[in-house]
A = this chain, B = another copy of it.
């Protein structure tokens, strides 16, 4: 799902609009740069699914990330 190609965008093989926040082990957000003009959001999931690209435009993605970060704080 996270592919490698000439332009160094990582999310070229499709994105998902939602993941279960509880499954997120790690969140990576890449700002647009000279090597990839898009913002990219990649989550590493706890189960075997591994890395998934999230659609930065999906409203649920934005809300979930905020909710997820809030939950991580309350977990401590």
Query: A residues 18-49 with Cβ under 8 Å of B?
Result: 24-33, 37-39
A interface, over-half SS: mixed
Using a CB–CB distance below 8 Å, which chain A residues touch chain B?
24-33, 37-39, 56-57, 62, 65-66, 68-69, 72-73, 75-76
A76 / chain B contacts, CB cutoff of 8 Å: 32, 37-39
Bound state CA distance, A62 and B57, in angstroms? 20
- Expressed in whole angstroms, the minimum distance between the Cβ of A22 and any Cβ of chain B is 9
* A-B contact sample (9 more), CB < 8 A, given A27-B27, A29-B72: A25-B30, A26-B31, A29-B69, A31-B68, A38-B76, A39-B69, A56-B73, A65-B69, A66-B66
